[in-house]
Structure 1
Amino acid sequence: MAVDRLLPTTEAEDLLALTRELADKELAPRVEQHERAETYPEGLFATLGAAGLLGLPYPEEHGGGAQPYEVYLQVLEELAARWAAVAVAVSVHGLSCFPLATYGTAEQQQRWLPRMLAGELVGGYSLSEPQAGSDASALACKAERVAEGYRITGTKAWITHGGRAGFYALFARTAPGSGGVSCFLAPGRAKGLSFGRPEEKMGLHAVPTTTAHWDGAVLDADRLIGAEGQGLAIAFSALDSGRLGIAAVATGIAQAALDTATAYANERTAFGRKIIDHQGLGFLLADMAAAVGSARATYLDAARRRDAGREYGRAASVAKLVATDAAMKVTTDAVQVLGGYGYTRDFPVERYMREAKITQIFEGTNQIQRLVIARSLAR
């Protein structure tokens, strides 16, 4: 069902209506086919880019939509309610644009940002490594300064859109120590860059997640974003925004699960009554609705803090924690509402449950979010 949203402007209402229309036309009819066959939705991201949905929170001067995060995140939620893998890829694309849009020079932004925000170049975020997931300071991939620029050597892991992206926000070590990581805008294709076989994942099957192997590939010097050694500050700043994206995606998954479970409970009868009229199921659905509403309110609070220019790092971690834990609970309960049918592929709730799990893991596990929140409280 359509969510009754409080939007700041008529323009935002029109944007959400456009998003729903496009998602119902382009995403909903294709999701089951591609998720089951694990095939990439060719041309879909170009369609989203042409509709202006891939650059919404960025400035109009570079082709963005200049939308507040409060609105952008609700667009992500609507996409996720139809197709979580696509919504995650859109969120990661926005995350990958952040370093250039925030720390790049005017010349760098003019050169690359318009094509990125238009969706001509879809991005991947390349921070994690096989031995460095939550502990980003343990990065080992090296960026050695050479006459031509920077020679990149090492392996990156868990890259959404790996092998498909047109560019990567790449983080590599230019010097020893935690202050020795730098950020680069790497091209999607380069001599000396190769990708591993896509991971065999529990969910999000339609968009690949891969490793990347940098075997001495050379990047031009002007692909350095910010200053040498500024990489972790850039990465963590970007992740605050990225966590809000995942919170919105998780809320969309949970909303879809709630809608499916509610529709089923209104149709299925037992002991002469619709099962929603039995208190045990009715109260369960009420708790699911409360969890979805709470998740949405939490991410919108963090987004409004961001839009107002206030500190929002802790609020982003809270939103990511609350929304993704809620999604896991709501999707699990949706399977329960459908009973045996919920455990089959005849209904999408088993997919929602599988998709919800990863939201508790990427962009910083929920254990890391608790650590971030605790440290903030200690300060």
Structure 2
Amino acid sequence: MVGEPAKLKSVRDLSAKGIFLSLARVPQTETVIVGCSDALLYEYDLAAEKPEPVAYPEGSHESYVTGVAVAGPVVVSGAYDGKLVWWDRAERRAIRSVAAHEKWIRKVIASPDGRWIASVADDMQCKLWDAATGELLLTVSDHAKETPNHYPSMLYAVAFSPDGTRLATGDKVGHVAVWSLPEGRKLTTLECPGMYTWDPKQRRHSIGGIRSLAFSTSGQLMAVGGVGHIGNIDHLDGAARVEVFEWATGERRHELADSKHKGLVEQILFSPDDAWFLTAGGDNAGFLTFYSTQEGKILHQDKAHQHIHAAALNEAGDRVSTAHHGRVVSWSL
């Protein structure tokens, strides 16, 4: 049975040094692998009586590990150093390192069947890789390198459709592109300019952008997450923002702003039956907010100790794992 948002509670709360910036769950288990600000990966078995972090070997990355994906027997990590590293998951051993992007890698994900890896970076490119061999299969981009105010843009978000035939990418100024796979043909674009803030007076600085994308379990809807207009860019004081589209037609189904729990929507997860979707993120603090997919109404909200950088939902839809500043948390529904 799919979990009930109103029953959300923390069942594991593990503190650690460093900032956990990315998280991937090993399918059919409660084991998670997190990427850290110390350039390392750590593995936690959240089903263990006393979960302890197991560090992957040092030396493969030189900076923040901002993306982690599990694809069958391999783990693929990406970092601000622009490298993708393939790991033998059973042995926790690096088996391949690729100079994948010219700028910071922002996210790394695996296709639902584990066949492909997708990475996005601030070179404004999305690259598709063979998960088994590391071969580069496709490079796509529909994202400008500069914002309208002539500052460097960023490419934060990427998502596969549940059937693996679609790929979506989202950038700092609120532009989304949807691609067919494996040929890489652009199918459509969506625009979410309300997720981009430009401060022309105090800082001459832009902030915000699309930070998360998710296809619904049916594949018909796409949720886009970010933050609304920010008055104080030092504190991410904009409302957490989500827009939901019927992506094929471009119809906007919901435009949601959560001013109670502010900040970036870093992750969106749909329940297996599409009854609800979960948003996770934050400003200095963190939040988890559940919405009704059909009506767009808030079903349940909860605070988290710190900003949530990444989250994963299990197959049954009744367990959530979250990565924070200095902690990993497991939640039950």
Normalising by the residue count of structure 1, what TM-score does the alignment of the two structures yield? 0.23
Structure with a larger share of its residues in strand: 2
Query: Which structure: larger Rg?
Result: 1
